[in-house]
Amino acid sequence: MAWCWSSANSRHLVVVNLSAGAAEAHVRLPWQDIGGRTWELTDRVNDQQFERSGDDLAANGLYVGLVGWASHFLAFAPSDG
């Protein structure tokens, strides 16, 4: 299960695996302007950070692989690098 929201200054995505088994998927993002830059994704629960290409996110969605009952609460920010 996945849902997202945004405001003028923030973008967030929550992804939850509601099963006991591992699951993976490409989550399509609704933001039309995500391409053309690199994004830093920070998991607000465990402070993990990921860097992803906006062009790849726009074309393919965000790949997510989660073990059973796991989740991500990701904040998106444009990367300076």
pLDDT digits (tens, 9 = 90+) for 8-65: 899 999 999 999 999 999 999 999 999 999 999 999 999 999 999 999 999 999 999 9
Q: How far apart, in whole angstroms, are the C-alpha atoms of residue 29 and residue 40?
A: 15
Determine the Cα–Cα distance for residues 73 and 80; give it in Å rounded to an integer: 21
CA atoms within 13 Å, Cβ hemisphere of 48: 8
CB 29 within 8 A of CB 61: yes
Q: HSE-up of 23 (CA within 13 Å, CB side)?
A: 17
How is domain 2-78 classified at the architecture level of CATH? Sandwich (2.60)
pTM of the model: 0.92
Spell out the domain ranges in the chain.
Answer: 2-78
3-state class of 60 per DSSP? helix
